[in-house]
Amino acid sequence: MRRILFLVVLIAVAALAGRAAWLGLSRGDLLAGVGTDGLVARAVGWLGMGAGHGPPPGFASSNGRTEATEVIVATKLPGRIAEVRVREGDEVKAGELLAQMDTRELEAALAQARAEQRRAEEHLRYVDALLAQAHSELEFAEKSYERANRLQATRSVSEDRVDETRNRLQVATSGLQATRVQRVEAEAAIAAARAKADQVSVQIEDSALLAPRGGRIQFRLAEPGEVLAAGGRVLTLIDLEDAYMTFFLPEQQAGQVAIGAEARIVLDAFPDRPVAARISFVSSEAQFTPKTVETAHERQKLSFRVKAQIDVPEKYRAWAKPGLPGVSYVRLDPQAQWPAWLAAWEPK
């Protein structure tokens, strides 16, 4: 019996060494990373996993695929793409210029709006001059009318002269009011031209498509020279700082999952590297398990959607990508200890 166990472990270690070679790890790196005892323990653990063993007591597991928050970089205004500065797979930082729309028409509109603003400002100065003239005419008409009234008391002027000065006073008063209205209109014209210039300036700024957050360019959907409508998609960006795996658990297990509970993600591509994660979401409504769950029996059951947030080390983000299949393990019992084969992998 011991001899058979020894052969099984030896085969598992050999398989692990082969995987290490495939991953580009030397024998020294492998032993330094986990140690000989740990290597054997993990080999036995992985062998148990391969034999179809379920999660340890106090734990639950379910298969799923990795995902990351996806952001669409789109145009706000219709127009022609002048330049796309990034390619698929490029890492970008928040605020980085990704693409530029053609702004020649907008720049011409901005020049026109600024010219309208200057004309309105000149017209305001002209109206101010008219306003000063209207004040002067009103002041002269008031004095003429007062003088005519005094002279009429001594019968030095005729009533026609008094009526004439009264009429001039009324005309001067109306002229002053009209000039004041012209000044209000001139001020409004300046404000409208300034607002138009500001609006076009904002449109020119919006024509520079910036990265809303850091991440990786997933898809390049448009090329320079293409004409897009408002909202036309140019790029797809994934935020690797917001990576997660969504999986489904039955009601009894989902009810025991605590927000913030520890979890492990074991990807098919890296079965020897359990990734630490934490539960960030448990759905409040049950649903039929989607077709991504492997067995038809499981798909017939109602289950709850659970999300495990993954902390991807920066130096290993080149290997991180959405769509990788794997298995999520979540601790239901806070007192349960993680088995050796699910110990969180830490990059050296």
Query: How does pLDDT run across 235-279, given as a tens digit for each residue?
Result: 999 998 889 999 998 888 888 898 999 899 998 888 888 889 999
pLDDT of residue 14: 44
β pairing state of 262-267 and 59-74: unpaired
β pairing state of 215-220 and 208-210: unpaired
Q: Give the residue from 72, 53, 52, 63 showing the smallest Cα distance to 308.
A: 63
β pairing state of 79-84 and 227-228: antiparallel
Residue 340: CB atoms within 10 Å: 14
Q: Give the residue from 34, 11, 107 showing the smallest Cα distance to 274.
A: 34
Percent of residues in the chain assigned helix, strand, coil, to nearest 5 = 45, 25, 30
Instruction: Measure the CA–CA gap between 264 and 329, rounded to whole angstroms.
Output: 5
The string of pLDDT tens digits covering residues 126-175 is: 988 888 888 888 887 877 767 777 676 666 667 767 667 778 878 888 88
CB–CB of 38/6 below 8 Å? Answer: no
Residue 64: CB atoms within 10 Å: 23
Phi/psi of residue 101, each to 5°? Answer: -85, 155
Phi/psi of residue 283, each to 5°? Answer: -65, 145
Instruction: Measure the CA–CA gap between 164 and 217, rounded to whole angstroms.
Output: 82
CB–CB of 35/8 below 8 Å? Answer: no
Q: Output the CA angle 205-209-215, nearest 5 degrees.
A: 140
Q: Which of 283-292, 327-336, 337-346 has the lowest mean pLDDT?
A: 283-292
Instruction: Measure the CA–CA gap between 78 and 76, rounded to whole angstroms.
Output: 7
The string of pLDDT tens digits covering residues 178-210 is: 888 889 999 999 999 999 999 999 999 999 999
* Residue 16 vs residue 157, higher pLDDT: 157
The string of pLDDT tens digits covering residues 37-55 is: 444 444 444 444 433 456 8
State mean pLDDT over 53-60.
Answer: 81
% of the chain exceeding 90 in pLDDT: 42
CB–CB of 319/88 below 8 Å? Answer: no
Instruction: Measure the CA–CA gap between 298 and 275, rounded to whole angstroms.
Output: 25
State mean pLDDT over 82-91.
Answer: 94
Topology annotation, domain 71-102+210-234: OB fold (Dihydrolipoamide Acetyltransferase, E2P) (2.40.50)
Q: Give the residue from 62, 54, 56 showing the smallest Cα distance to 247.
A: 62
The average confidence (pLDDT) of the chain is: 80
State mean pLDDT over 222-230.
Answer: 95
Write out the two tokens for 103. 């702004």
- Please tell me the pTM assigned to this model: 0.66
Instruction: Measure the CA–CA gap between 115 and 323, rounded to whole angstroms.
Output: 54
Which residue's structure tokens are 């082969």? 18
